[in-house]
Amino acid sequence: MRIEHLSLTNFRNYARLEATLPADKPIVLYGSNAQGKTSLLEAIYYLATSRSPYTTSDRQLIHWRTEGDPLPYARLDAEIHGAGRVDRLELTLMLEQNASAVARFKKVVRLNGVDKRVMDVLGLVRVVLFLPQDLSLVEGSPSDRRRFMNTTLSQVDADYYAALDQYEKILPQRNALLRRLSERRGGSGELAFWDEQLVQAGSILVAQRQRFLRELEMDAQRAHLELTGSQETLTLSYQPSFAPTASDNGQLSFDVLGLDLHRDLNPDAVAPQFADRLRDEEAESIRRGVTLSGPHRDELRLLINGRDAGLYGSRGQARTAVMALKLAELQWMHQRTGEPPILLLDEVIAELDASRRAYLLERIDGSVQSLLTTTELEIFTDSFVERAAVWRVQEGQISAYV
């Protein structure tokens, strides 16, 4: 799977861009800071996920020069080749004013000229994004690691995305009801409807996360052993906010390290236990006005030789663990879909030492469409530059670098 042609209009630095991406070589985006290198990666990521990895406000994606226009908008248009077919995906972001002159943000999605919902086009483009900030997967908050699981799974599993979308809509409704109940407005029986919906969606998330991490861990361990000369072993510890029972023999598979990834869970087994937990915590949840358990409180930890890398690992160990995880993510998507995703690396190479840099560059070839940004072309080996397409990016314009 790859993007053959990318068109951007009023997106970030780009007033207008038309770019044909080579099919058989990595693309190095070279230039000074704030010229548009990262914006190009952001556009591809947005086409894949309908979200930006750099901002929570889609309004910021619209080129600032359109602010005085009567209808400010940005458009992303891509020709996508994959699975024996060619598709055209178009996303338009616009600001409209209602009768009260209040600006309203609108997102329009079209696939081959037909209007679609966002969930209808997820998975059409799949990406793995590697950033220097990805150290947060080791050192950051649990929400960073939940976001990693959600973003990866949503690109390949439509059921997971639908459950996540449902869960994220239901949770605020349940929390609002809990706050009303804490003020003694309404009866606790009103929780039954929201609990049923939350359990249905949340059980899918827990079961699919457990399966995903089990499959991901094998490739991550392999890459990590190679990176460390077989001196260190990486394991993943999935720690749900409640302790689901494995479906095979009824024994608890949750211990101080987390859920045993090598035992199967399914949503039907998780659901009654999640429901029991919500009932057990009902009084405390009402008192505090918040849902205390569920996938929104799950945790994932990375362990090196059995020790939590976020608590006890060095910065070098964290970088190695993240690289292994990202390479495993790339391999996992390929195995699940039959096609490699697009690999996006934003200023990552400069952050790596010589051995990790060489290891990563050896795995970037024509079989995976790859785009890398850099301000320092000399950090790449001559052999890599020779087999890459090097594009200079300057003030929202792209040209071949000679």
pLDDT at residue number 257:
41
One-letter identity of residue 373? T
Q: Cβ contacts of residue 255 below 8 Å, gap of 6+?
A: none
Query: Phi-psi region for residue 254, left (φ > 0), alpha (ψ -120 to 50) or beta?
Result: beta
What is the per-residue DSSP string for 24-50? SS-EEEE--TTSSHHHHHHHHHHHHHS
Spatial distance between the Cα atoms of 172 and 142, rounded to a whole number of angstroms? 19
Helix (H) or strand (E) holding 280: helix 267-280
* pLDDT mean by block of 10 residues, the chain; 402 residues: 95 93 92 93 96 89 77 92 91 79 82 94 95 93 96 96 97 95 77 95 96 95 94 94 57 46 80 93 93 95 94 92 96 94 94 89 86 94 91 91 64
Query: 315 is written with which tokens?
Result: 């910065």
Closest by CA to 369, choosing from 333, 323, 325, 319, is 333
Axis crossing angle, helix 354-362 with helix 191-227, rounded to the nearest 10? 110
Helix (H, G, I), strand (E, B) or coil at 156: helix
Q: Which burial class, exposed, middle or buried, applies to 234 when counting CB atoms under 10 A from its CB (0-12, 13-18, 19+)?
A: buried
pLDDT tens-digit readout, 22-80: 988 999 999 999 899 999 999 999 999 999 999 888 888 998 777 667 678 899 999 99
Spatial distance between the Cα atoms of 304 and 314, rounded to a whole number of angstroms? 11
Contact 247, 255 (CB under 8 A): no
pLDDT at residue number 296:
96
Spatial distance between the Cα atoms of 374 and 9, rounded to a whole number of angstroms? 23
Q: Which burial class, exposed, middle or buried, applies to 107 when counting CB atoms under 10 A from its CB (0-12, 13-18, 19+)?
A: exposed
Query: 275 is written with which tokens?
Result: 């429901």
pLDDT at residue number 102:
65
What is the per-residue DSSP string for 237-257? EEE-SS-PBPTTTS-B-B-SS
Q: What strand order describes the sheet that includes 103-111?
A: 14-20, 2-11, 73-82, 85-97, 103-111, 114-116
pLDDT tens-digit readout, 76-112: 999 999 878 999 999 999 887 766 666 778 899 999 9
